[in-house]
Amino acid sequence: MGHLMCAGCFTHLLADGRLRDQNATCPNCRTEISKNNSSRNLAVEKAVSELPAECQYCSKEFPNKSIDYHESTECEDRPTDCKYARIGCQWRGPIHEVTSHEGNCAHPRKSGADVMVALQAHDAKAAEDKKLFLTLIDLLSYEKIIFNDLQLKPYRTDEYVHRLYYETSRFSAFNHQWVVKAIINKSQRDPHESCERDITYQLILKSKTTSPLPMHFFVLRGPFSDIKVDTQIYKHDFADTETESPFKLLPLPDTAECNRLLAAKAINFRLIMFLASK
């Protein structure tokens, strides 16, 4: 009949199997499991959706299917910030107390100098976002722009301890051959023992070049991918003696997304490259 587990645990087991270079197994009976021999149990999903679940804020019980909506929209004890958080108020409390707090909040009565100090962190984040936007706009004005929809496939090193890495097939860009290589947790010895996981990647020039290739590049979700990744632009100057960029962080939102990618047969993504004119 088989055993039941939630989607998050199932994905984590598949990711662990990938990292160990072993087939994932059921924690109850040790039978090998994969996406091919497992199926979604709609009957159990429906039954679970009707079971009571306790709100993490008010401790009242609601049907499982409606608990997320209650916690995000209806619960009077769900946490919220003061509307003066932007000018430095660090109060965070239940939403039913926010009106009372804001009526007595001292921050609206602070001096301009105090408010300016509080705004510095906000302005720094806004400046960082603006810099990314302007960099992207500037790159889009380049004459030489290209994108490739790629697939990272898993491999193992030939070392005594076989470490997992991912690599794409060769692809063409700007009359040169390239590959993308990725590693998990900076190739630590036992990444399956770590709760926190990340992916770093590098761009590798595989053909000869007679002149420098100043390159900007970044990864984003493509038409054949559902990867959740933030925008982070990297730069490297390729040359005949400098064919590999340093490993750069693939900016995923969390470890759960990393596990989801590791559990898949391959990682699909789009790579955009910008070559500065000589």
The number of domains in the chain is: 3
Domain residue limits at 33: 1-38
Is the residue at 103 inside a domain?
yes
Q: Are residues 156 and 184 in the same domain?
A: yes
**Which of 116, 137, 158 is the last residue in one of the domains?**
137
Judged against a pLDDT cut of 90, whether residue 35 lies above it is answered with no
pLDDT tens, position by position, 171-217 = 999 999 999 999 998 866 666 667 788 999 999 999 999 999 999 99
Is the residue at 58 inside a domain?
no
Mean pLDDT of the 147-167 span: 85
Is the residue at 161 inside a domain?
yes
Is the residue at 65 inside a domain?
no
Quick one: which of 185, 183, 187 has its CA closest to 161? Answer: 187
Q: Are residues 6 and 122 in the same domain?
A: no
pLDDT tens, position by position, 73-113 = 999 999 999 999 888 898 999 999 999 999 999 989 888 88
Judged against a pLDDT cut of 90, whether residue 22 lies above it is answered with no
Residues 6+ apart with CB under 8 A from 58: 75, 76, 77
**Token pair belonging to 191:** 């990444």
Q: Alpha-carbon distance 161 to 192, whole Å? A: 14
Quote the pLDDT of residue 188.
Answer: 65
Q: What is the CATH number of the domain that holds 93?
A: 3.30.40
Q: Are residues 189 and 219 in the same domain?
A: yes
For 66-85, the DSSP string reads GHHHIIIII-TT-EEE-TTG
Q: Are residues 208 and 266 in the same domain?
A: yes
**Which of 92, 111, 137 is the last residue in one of the domains?**
137
Q: Are residues 133 and 146 in the same domain?
A: no
Quote the pLDDT of residue 113.
Answer: 84
Classify residue 2 as left (phi > 0), alpha (psi -120 to 50) or beta: left
* 278 band by pLDDT with thresholds 50, 70 and 90: low
Q: Are residues 27 and 84 in the same domain?
A: no
Is the residue at 81 inside a domain?
yes
Is the residue at 278 inside a domain?
no
* 240 band by pLDDT with thresholds 50, 70 and 90: very high
Judged against a pLDDT cut of 60, whether residue 269 lies above it is answered with yes
Quote the pLDDT of residue 8.
Answer: 74
Q: Are residues 146 and 132 in the same domain?
A: no
Is the residue at 9 inside a domain?
yes
Quote the pLDDT of residue 189.
Answer: 67
**Which of 91, 115, 137 is the last residue in one of the domains?**
137
Q: Name which residue leads in pLDDT, 188 or 254.
A: 254
